[in-house]
């Protein structure tokens, strides 16, 4: 018989364990014996997995727990906003306000508009002559971000949005994002100024972003709300255009 696993040099055992899916390492392998638990809880294994899978930026992490969380957060990173570009009409968006003629989805570039910087975006939402606002609430636990991670590591929560006017009409735009507790108490908030786009503007798309960090324990939900209106009060859809909204949880 060949050598037993526990007799292998630690560096060899780490290389073997690094080939195992991360969830199995945490849920099964660390329960096998004290040696495996120590390796799964240590930094070397997760440094190797990050290197093998091309996850960069972990060099700044200071301890073993951060390496493991860096790995999981990097692998899980995705846009948590559903239907960010109107491909599913208004599905997943709650209409907080539907003023004037309400929300509408149009194809890019639209009348008196410009193409979006990314070719992957084909549609946008457009507002009317009274305030239109829509929102999504993201349940972080349902998306796989467990309570201890949110409370202890407090990974960055990055929100982004894109807005534009049409060149023949002025408009207003606002973004408001809230971090909420289990009972939906507001633990942190970002609210943009009311951004005014004048008539005869260049119709270029503009990105707005905010990063939440060191927000304290207890965050379980994120509420993303944006909207606007035109400033000429023309019937129809001459207000601000929004698309490609995103919210990511990052190391």
Element (H, E) at 250: strand 241-250
Helix and strand totals (H; E) in the chain: 6, 11
Taking only the tens place, the pLDDT of each residue in 123-164 is 999 999 999 999 999 999 999 888 888 998 899 999 999 999
Q: What is the mean pLDDT of the chain?
A: 90
Q: Which pLDDT score is estimated for 59?
A: 53
Burial 153-168 (b: 16+ CB within 10 A, else e): bebebbbbbbbbbbbe
For residue 132, give both structure tokens. 């239109």
Mean per-residue pLDDT, 69-78: 83
Closest CA to 50 of 38, 64, 36: 64
* C-alpha span between 103 and 127 (Å, rounded): 5
d(CA 112, CA 11): 62
Collect all residues with Cβ–Cβ distance below 8 Å to 38 and sequence separation of at least 6.
none
- The tens digit of pLDDT for each residue in 179-197 reads 999 999 999 999 999 999 9
């Amino acid at each position: 018989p060949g050598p037993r696993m526990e007799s292998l040099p630690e560096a060899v055992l780490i290389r073997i364990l690094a080939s195992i899916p991360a969830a199995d390492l945490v849920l099964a392998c660390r329960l096998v014996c004290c040696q495996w638990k120590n390796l799964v809880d240590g930094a070397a294994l997760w440094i190797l997995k990050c290197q093998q899978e091309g996850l960069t930026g972990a060099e700044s992490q200071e301890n073993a727990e951060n390496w493991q969380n860096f790995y999981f957060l990097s692998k899980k990173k995705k846009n948590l906003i559903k239907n960010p570009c109107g491909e599913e009409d208004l599905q997943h968006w709650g209409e907080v306000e539907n003023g004037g003629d309400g929300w509408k989805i149009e194809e890019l570039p639209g009348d008196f508009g410009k193409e979006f910087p990314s070719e992957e975006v084909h549609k946008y939402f457009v507002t009317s002559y009274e305030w239109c606002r829509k929102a999504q609430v993201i349940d972080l636990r349902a998306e796989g971000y467990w309570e201890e991670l949110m409370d202890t590591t407090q990974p960055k929560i990055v929100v982004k949005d894109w807005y534009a006017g049409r060149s023949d009409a002025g408009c207003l735009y606002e973004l408001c994002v809230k971090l909420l507790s289990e009972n939906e108490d507001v633990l942190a908030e970002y609210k943009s100024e009311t951004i005014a786009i004048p008539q005869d503007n260049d119709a270029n798309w503009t990105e707005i972003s905010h990063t939440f960090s060191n927000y304290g324990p207890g965050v379980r939900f994120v509420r993303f709300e944006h909207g606007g209106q035109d400033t000429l009060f023309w019937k129809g859809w001459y207000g601000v255009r929004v698309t490609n909204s995103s919210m990511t949880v990052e190391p």
